[in-house]
Structure 1
Amino acid sequence: MRGDTKMIKRIGLILTVSIIMFLTVFGLSTKLSFAAELKKINGETPSGIPLNEMEEKIDQYVSKYLDKTTPGAAIAVVKDGQIILSKGYGYADVEKQISVDPSKTVFEWGSISKLFTWTSAMQLVEQGKLDLDEDIKTYLPSDFAKKLNFQQTVTMRDLMNHAAGFGDYAFNTIAFSKDGLFPLEEALLLDKSKQYYKVGTASSYSNYGASLAGYVVECISKQPFHDYEREHLFNVLEMNNTTGNTTFDDNKKLLETKAKGYLPNPEGGFILGNWSYVSHYPAGSINGTVEDLAKYAIAITPEKGQKSPLFDNSDTLETMFSPSYSLDGEMVGTAHGFFEYVGEYRTIGHGGNTATFSSQFAIVPEERFVIVILTNASAEMDILFGVQELLIGKKHTESKVPYLKLPSSNEVDGKYVPFQRQEGNFLEFANYQNLYTVSATNKNEITMSLGQYKGTYVQTKPYYYELVKENFPVFRNAYPILQFKMEEGKVKQIIVGHGMDLSELLPDRTIPVLIASVLVLLSTTLYFLIAPLILLILKFKNRKKQLELEDKRFNFYYSMLILCGTITVLNNLICITRIMMNKFRTFAEVKPHLLLNYPLLVCTVIAAFFSIKYMRKIVSSKKRKVFYFLTITLLTLLFALLIGWNFFIVV
């Protein structure tokens, strides 16, 4: 009996060990299944890395930045119609230590969503329901089209090319709760970007334009855009872990596996941020996994001669990937909404950012090679652009230039402002405080800088400069080539492409004007913050002094002038500070500050009128008169500054 018991224990121990070994080996082989499968794949990445070494190279690169630029990331690589790598790095939820799972973890895709808007539009083109070169008002409800009040004709091609004349509009782009959302039609009328430059003459990135394009699709298809893309894109590709509905109403289960979003902490680490809710949902509302986005990548890179499951014929996809906008034919441009990137191979794609997520999607059509990268941190750039460069490669610019005679770089020296600026609202002032500076460093070399960030460029053709060195990744992705458009020996525009063109400073926004504006801002702020204290001190010192009636009245209106100036300064400083602290403010939050400027101006005019009236009736010292006229002068300059920089525009 005792021997049987020992035998049973031994058998049990052997079985237990065997099971543990089996599970260990099985689990390990499951983790390495992609790597094992990868070794069977021949070939190399466009940059020349053998495919069987690719995962190791990616791991080495990502390890340098993980936990520094983002807490988590998911990367998928597609080659010849199959996913050859799908991997999660770091944490989807730092607090709960939940790891990123490429098949389950849901990320915000940001502006990669626009690719689905352009794909939807091309489906309607294929069906003969949409003409890319027709005025979009043809497809919009007449009442809505009238309210848009565009000064120039806009086509779907213009919207795809980000060349519809729109500036930027910073408000209402992202809300942090469902309560901040507006219906798409209402959002388009509420958040109109100013159409301030001639259509087709510049590339200026526009969320508004993409949102308007989605509404055109909505009107033609007669169904909400997020329903259209679910039915005609997601369902077709079995992207079951993806939604374009910003409230997740059509797929609530995804909320269970959605990653937390984070902001970099200046002191190190990350701060938990907010998820983004997007009223302009065709421009950036899709949430999904990296493997679902890889399914889309597979669908738009079919084998030559084969059609995509998203289109009825192969010509449509070829058209979508063909260049649709480039001002000179040599610069990188736009391919029906897909941005072209500089490199040894023609590469197209798109990036994305929300309040706390960043993403990158890049295709090399010739190689049927696609990189998909999703991260859960705001404005991550090192992994996004670095992995793309690692796998696709970059164009190496020689410092030698083939031209014997090139114009001097001094000709392009100067300050420039993006076309994508807050034209027509008070944030325009902030745009002009962060100008791009181009400085000639020698005859054929320039440096372009934005604050502390710099890129060095070499002139390889007349007025055509290529990036050779930089201290910030965005230069490689957004500003790889600069072409200066000259008119009468003066730079009119820097052609960059993919929504990033820069313009000369306008006549009323020149450097002297900007310097004068800043000086007025500083002097009026300093004066009207100190003046009330001086008034109180003087009032305390002269409290026993008997004054004539006219003196009392003058003092009252003079005090009123000071008070109006102080409140005006504080009101607008608070307005600007609120925007700086949270760039995703709604216009409704800052509108009261702008409205308050009107009664303050009226009160100032009234106080000025009566103070002048009583000033004539009293005997004043020279010092008193100087301070009074200084107050009047600074108030005049303050309100002139606010009017000139759109602080009275409330629509």
Structure 2
Amino acid sequence: MHLPVEDNEEITLNKGKSYLTGEGGKFTESESYYISMYPSGGINGTALDLAKFAQALISPESEKTSLFQESQTQSELLSTSYSPEEGVPGLAHGFWEYDGEYRGLMHSGNTVAYSSNMQIVPEDNFAIIVLTNQADELYLTFGLMDELVGKGYQTIQENLPSASEVEGTYLTARRTYNGFMNLYAYLAQLDVQSINDNEIALDLAGFKATYIQTSPYVYKLKGGDDIFIPNNVMFFHVNDEKAEQISTTYADYVAMDKSKPFLLISLGLFIWFMVYFLISPFVLIVLAFLRRRRKQKTAAATKWNGVLTLSGTALAVNIVLLIIRMLSKPMRTYSEMLLHFIGNYVFTVISLISVVMLIIFWKKASLSKWQKVGYILTCISSILFIAWLIIWQMYS
């Protein structure tokens, strides 16, 4: 629970700066990003306060701690609450179990250029906290953990299932399911291919890694890009020799829910919409200029075709701007994007009205063969564009 009366303005005023890594190892200062989903990113404090919290968590139960009223609550908090498979790291009531030489419990978090990783080893009354103020920091926040706590042993069992059983394409289950942000997951698919009977190659949006099977359907990181370090252990849920889900320390992955042809068609249509509606206005300008020179009267159907085309262009430009703004600043608040969603609704309504009016005036107009082809193409493209926006939830 957030208590405003307990806010310490000095902490906010003296908050450390964060940096992005640039070319040649140079650093550039990063702006501070606020995550609007409480409590993620909502706590600003000092390293000393976090150290006191970690110290209280590893205090022996015999010692009185300010965290809990009853001593057994501490042991319950640090006990395993979920594990996908025996011997596979799971959860301990909000802490992630660490696959190391000792049973460690950790919790980490990060924004664009701030990261923290806290790990405690209750059996040894040991705790470590790594705080960074730079991007691309995984080798620090997790690499130091491996060095100080120790990596787990990799004993490889015999007669293991074939790695071909876990091949496939997966999506992270830790994603946005409603709204346009759901599209992001499909741009970062996890592709799994077998190298041999016991090894698999992973590709996540261009980042690659190799895993080796140590026990039935349990794979451990052998080597690869830093992005895979947090998920160094993967357990594949297999049913009838077909993998349906991957469990990792931080996030599960589920089998792709859309076919490859559907995704390719969606991509092809998106490219078509962008090209068609961004070029069409220039074609309309040329045609209008020619009609004016010939002193031809503009038919009502032609006018509504122009409105339909321009509303489609407005939709295309609005979507492009939305994408550019999100890529330039991924953690924008919903209020910053609201204008784009309102625009999508407005331009969609205009497009639908234009289609209806074009059909009405079609019968009354004397149109050439090429005009009919062009108007039909615009109508079909507009309707498909709106359907595409609905399918990919671009209205919220």
With structure 2 as the length reference, what TM-score do the two structures score? 0.91
Task: State how far apart, in whole Å, the 1-side matches of 2:299 and 2:76 are.
Answer: 78
- Other-structure match for 1:547: 296
- Other-structure match for 2:255: 504
SS of alignment partner, residue 542 of structure 1: helix
Task: State how far apart, in whole Å, the 1-side matches of 2:15 and 2:356 are.
Answer: 61
1:402 aligns to 2:157 (yes or no): yes
1:465 aligns to 2:216 (yes or no): no
Task: State how far apart, in whole Å, the 1-side matches of 2:357 and 2:46 are.
Answer: 67
Matched AA of 2:252:
D
Task: State how far apart, in whole Å, the 1-side matches of 2:20 and 2:145 are.
Answer: 23
Contact 2:34/2:41 (<8 A) preserved: no
Pick one of 38, 44, 47 that aligns with 1:290: 47
- Other-structure match for 2:284: 535
Matched AA of 2:170:
Y
SS of alignment partner, residue 432 of structure 1: helix
Task: State how far apart, in whole Å, the 2-side matches of 1:531 and 1:285 are.
Answer: 46
- Other-structure match for 1:182: none
1:590 aligns to 2:337 (yes or no): yes
Task: State how far apart, in whole Å, the 2-side matches of 1:354 and 1:319 are.
Answer: 30
Which has the larger share of strand?
2
1:276 positional shift: 5.0
Deviations 1:270-293 (A, max 9, x none): 332334556555444333333332
Task: State how far apart, in whole Å, the 2-side matches of 1:266 and 1:517 are.
Answer: 36
Matched AA of 1:299:
A
Matched AA of 1:385:
F
- Other-structure match for 1:412: 166
1:343 positional shift: 1.2
1:304 positional shift: 6.6
SS of alignment partner, residue 543 of structure 1: helix
- Other-structure match for 2:76: 319
What are the equivalent positions in structure 2 for 1:227-266 lying under 5 Å apart? 227=3, 250-255=7-12, 257-265=14-22
1:267 positional shift: 6.5
- Other-structure match for 1:576: 323
1:359 aligns to 2:116 (yes or no): yes
Count of residues in Structure 1 that have an aligned counterpart in Structure 2? 396
1:475 aligns to 2:258 (yes or no): no
* Cα gap change, 1:612 to 1:385, in 2 (>3 Å): same
What are the equivalent positions in structure 2 for 1:134-153 lying under 5 Å apart? none
Matched AA of 1:317:
Q
- Other-structure match for 1:96: none
SS of alignment partner, residue 609 of structure 1: helix
1:364 positional shift: 1.5
Contact 2:234/2:247 (<8 A) preserved: yes
- Other-structure match for 2:138: 381
Task: State how far apart, in whole Å, the 1-side matches of 2:87 and 2:310 are.
Answer: 58
Structure 2's unaligned 5+ residue stretches are none
Contact 2:209/2:225 (<8 A) preserved: yes
Contact 1:326/1:497 (<8 A) preserved: no
Matched AA of 2:283:
I
> Percent identity at matched positions?
35
RMSD, matched Cα: 2.4
SS of alignment partner, residue 539 of structure 1: helix
Contact 1:397/1:467 (<8 A) preserved: no
1:361 positional shift: 0.7
Pick one of 250, 255, 266 that aligns with 1:517: 266
Pick one of 196, 200, 224 that aligns with 1:446: 200
Matched AA of 2:191:
T
- Other-structure match for 2:348: 601
User: What stretches of structure 1 move > 6 A for 4+ residues in a row?
Assistant: none
* Cα gap change, 1:640 to 1:445, in 2 (>3 Å): same
Contact 1:358/1:379 (<8 A) preserved: no
Matched AA of 1:421:
R
Contact 1:301/1:308 (<8 A) preserved: no
* Cα gap change, 1:496 to 1:277, in 2 (>3 Å): closer
Contact 1:353/1:378 (<8 A) preserved: no
Matched AA of 2:123:
E
Task: State how far apart, in whole Å, the 2-side matches of 1:546 and 1:250 are.
Answer: 72
1:298 positional shift: 1.9
SS of alignment partner, residue 142 of structure 2: helix
Task: State how far apart, in whole Å, the 2-side matches of 1:386 and 1:539 are.
Answer: 65
Task: State how far apart, in whole Å, the 2-side matches of 1:619 and 1:278 are.
Answer: 57
1:397 positional shift: 2.9
Matched AA of 2:219:
Y
Matched AA of 2:133:
N
* Cα gap change, 1:463 to 1:638, in 2 (>3 Å): same
1:393 aligns to 2:144 (yes or no): no
Higher relative contact order (CA 8 A, sep 6+): 1
Task: State how far apart, in whole Å, the 2-side matches of 1:299 and 1:639 are.
Answer: 56
Contact 2:187/2:205 (<8 A) preserved: no
Deviations 1:198-217 (A, max 9, x none): xxxxxxxxxxxxxxxxxxxx
SS of alignment partner, residue 325 of structure 1: coil
